[in-house]
Amino acid sequence: MLDITTLNVGGIRAAWRKGMASWLRAAGPDVLCLQEVRAPLEQLQEYLPDRHLAQSVSQIKGRSGVAVASLLPLAAVREGLPGLEPLPTHTGRWIEADIALPDGARLTVVSAYVHSGEVGTVRQDHKLDFLHAMTERLRALTAVGAVVCGDFNVAHREADLKNWRGNQKNSGFLPEERAVLTEWFADLGWVDVGRALAGEREGPYTWWSWRGRAFDNDTGWRIDYQIAPPAVAGLARDFRIDKPERYDARWTDHAPFTVTYDLPGFSP
């Protein structure tokens, strides 16, 4: 069994001080996909000395940053999303690592951080450009054993956010954003592993605003994903979302989302 966790830490230094270290000791996933790391590789190595690391750091200081931190060796690493105009705002958002499995097979694991976007601004243009570039990369990865993890900053369906009626004109639930994810699942054949395991129900959510009583009332969004081609998605056996019991126990505004895959004998 292989546990893969995706987690937006909102700055690993702050998250580590507030309680991430305790969570990691208890959870101990085999592969950890991080977003919004906001720290150099040297500091990440200090926090995760027992893990093999692949990281993409943003060219804009204090922004973005993604990483794959694996207890298993890394056979290869590829940084950046092909097909994008090389803007600083696109950096620190995509890292691929080929995990060397014990039986000799390789599993490509991606940590991705899609732009948050903002309607009527260039930030939204960058977000859509990134999502479309993801489509082309997923097309290329379809025949490969891959799991793409991350904060996609898009709720795909009404069941994926509590207040969907009030967010239909906001970035994160726009028709053009959701259509890209539909293309991944309906046309390319990729599987939303979290939804497949959770079934047809509201949530389960992975992000709650710091403001108001969103956390206490579970007024959240499901924007943290693990997606995979059918050959890998069919090996997913269970999932969990480590939502803290209390607001004051939070160390990020996201919750770690872990999927357990049954990979012995896996072949892409």
Written as six digits, the tokens of 87 are: 């803007």
Domain boundaries, the chain: 2-261
**pLDDT 10s per residue in the chain (268 long)?**
899 999 999 999 999 999 999 999 999 999 999 999 999 999 999 999 999 999 999 999 989 999 999 999 999 999 999 989 889 999 999 999 999 998 888 999 999 999 998 999 999 999 999 999 999 999 999 988 899 999 999 999 999 999 989 999 999 999 999 999 999 999 999 999 999 999 999 999 999 999 989 999 999 999 999 999 999 999 999 999 999 999 999 999 999 999 999 987 555 5
Identify the helix (H) or strand (E) that includes residue 244.
none
Is 50 a catalytic site residue? Answer: no
Read off the pTM. Answer: 0.95
The C-alpha atoms of residue 108 and residue 230 are separated, in whole angstroms, by 14
Q: Which CATH class is domain 2-261?
A: alpha beta
Q: CB burial class (10 A; 0-12, 13-18, 19+) of residue 11?
A: middle
Name the catalytic one among 30, 129, 151, 160: 151
